């Protein structure tokens, strides 16, 4: 598969009479967005607000972040199986409003939601302090159950991102990136002298607001399978989970998976990037065994020499991570695992809930239990009502002056296991 990403660099966002991109500025018609979101009977109200890098603005509780994109050439459309038909994507040309993002926030769904600070020390921990954010503050109808609220908020973000993304349909990109993965036998023959490397992409699928969707299917219902990396760039994988904000993969993370980008950068040079194996993170032991068995089998089937494994979440998924690592290594395939740590505020506790001697090459995203003080902000998009309740917060986290003392796991994307704030390792 060959995909061209036409990046349209967004350097400002403003409200306007028409939703369009002009000279790097994204103009958003506020009422059009409101009308679109209010088509859902589960939503009582929605407020559209803008947040720009460097502003004294705090966004919370954050549910998801989505990058606006539009399919310009090729089959299918962005977010297949959800917004568009279930057509295989990852080919042709897609335009990206690079630097823009849609952020869903508002009354809390689950306790594991996050904070984005657009300036101050918290801004250094999140990639979304650097994006021009169109924020949807969503209020559900009274009595709406949590899963229904999560689904409504998720769809609101996807619909808004799709609508805004269409503004880039006829805009000349500032740059065009080309990504291509050829059929396996052809790829192996082309780079027969290079080690064959694959990416094992673990998806959060524990249920109870811990879900990820692949072509619209809840990933807990699938067995491990193979994707072209370019399918991920076209929105084949979507977030639907409320796992701790610091290590949750938002939809934006999936669209811009840095491990995939780094592997492509080295493809044909010192490695042969064969493709992506997606697998899930389960609750029951039998399901963990099944998925890790299949994952190791697929690595062997593809003839990999090495594999990078990233996880999402912590605690229970650490077992899935180590099972995958151990079984893949037993097939003769070298591995590197990418994870964060929960080592206690003093850093002295066991970093992962599970371990094995075969997990001897690790990239860490940092210790999510580290404590940070976030200064008060002039503007809050959303509400501070749940500051003490979200994961990483505690009774008294929200101080009288509006500052917040909490573990960095409250910050969206802070120690993300995809290595979003640092280069991922691809050496074995």
Lay out the sheet containing 196-204: strands in order across: 225-227, 272-281, 196-204, 306-310, 334-341, 362-367
Q: What is the mean pLDDT of residues 148-156?
A: 96
Dihedral sign (CA 270, 275, 281, 284): negative
Residues noted as catalytic: 242
Neighbouring residues of 113: CB distance < 8 A, sequence distance ≥ 6: 60, 61, 62, 63, 242, 245, 386, 390
Greatest CA span in the chain, whole angstroms? 65
pLDDT band at residue 385 using 50, 70 and 90 as cut-offs: very high
- The 10s digit of each residue's pLDDT in 101-150 is 999 999 988 778 999 999 999 999 999 999 999 999 999 999 999 999 99
Residue 113 and residue 145 in contact, taking contact as beta carbons nearer than 8 Å: no
Residue 171: what pLDDT? 97
pLDDT of residue 355: 87
Provide the whole-model pTM.
0.95
pLDDT tens by residue, 119-131: 999 999 999 999 9
């Amino acid at each position: 598969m060959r995909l061209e990403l036409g990046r349209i660099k967004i350097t400002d966002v403003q409200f306007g009479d028409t939703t369009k991109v002009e000279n790097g500025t994204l103009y958003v018609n506020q009422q059009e967005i409101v009308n679109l979101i209010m088509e859902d009977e589960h939503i009582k109200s929605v407020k559209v607000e803008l947040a720009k890098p460097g502003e004294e603005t705090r966004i919370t509780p954050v549910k998801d972040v989505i990058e606006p994109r539009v399919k310009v050439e090729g089959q299918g459309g962005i977010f297949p199986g959800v917004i568009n038909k279930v057509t295989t994507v990852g080919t042709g040309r897609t335009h990206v409003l690079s630097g823009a993002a849609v952020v869903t926030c508002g009354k809390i769904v689950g306790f594991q939601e996050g904070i984005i600070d657009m300036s101050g020390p918290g801004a250094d921990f999140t990639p979304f302090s650097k994006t021009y954010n169109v924020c949807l503050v969503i209020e559900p109808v009274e009595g709406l159950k949590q899963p229904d609220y999560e689904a409504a908020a998720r769809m609101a973000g996807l619909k808004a991102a799709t609508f805004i993304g269409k503004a880039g349909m006829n805009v000349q990109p500032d740059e065009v990136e080309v990504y291509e993965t050829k059929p396996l036998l052809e790829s192996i023959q082309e780079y027969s002298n290079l080690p064959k490397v694959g990416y094992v992409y673990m998806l959060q699928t524990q249920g109870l607001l811990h879900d990820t969707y692949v072509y619209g299917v809840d990933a807990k219902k699938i067995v491990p399978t193979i994707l072209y990396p370019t399918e991920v760039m076209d929105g084949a994988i979507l977030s639907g989970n409320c796992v701790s904000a610091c290590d949750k993969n938002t939809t934006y993370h999936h669209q811009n998976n840095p491990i995939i980008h780094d592997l492509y950068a080295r493809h044909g040079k010192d490695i042969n990037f064969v493709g992506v194996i997606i697998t899930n993170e389960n609750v029951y032991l039998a399901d963990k065994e099944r998925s890790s068995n299949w994952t190791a089998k697929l690595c062997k089937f593809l003839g990999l020499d090495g594999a990078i494994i990233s996880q999402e979440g912590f605690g229970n998924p650490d077992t899935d991570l180590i099972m995958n690592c151990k079984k893949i290594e037993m097939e003769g395939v070298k591995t590197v695992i990418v994870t964060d740590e929960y080592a206690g505020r003093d850093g002295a506790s066991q970093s992962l809930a599970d371990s094995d001697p075969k997990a001897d090459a690790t990239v860490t995203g940092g210790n999510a239990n580290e404590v940070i003080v976030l200064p008060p902000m002039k503007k809050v998009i959303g509400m501070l009502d749940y500051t003490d309740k979200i994961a990483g917060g505690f009774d008294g986290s929200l101080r009288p002056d509006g500052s917040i003392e909490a573990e960095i796991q409250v910050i969206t994307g802070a120690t993300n296991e995809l290595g979003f704030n640092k280069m991922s390792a691809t050496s074995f």
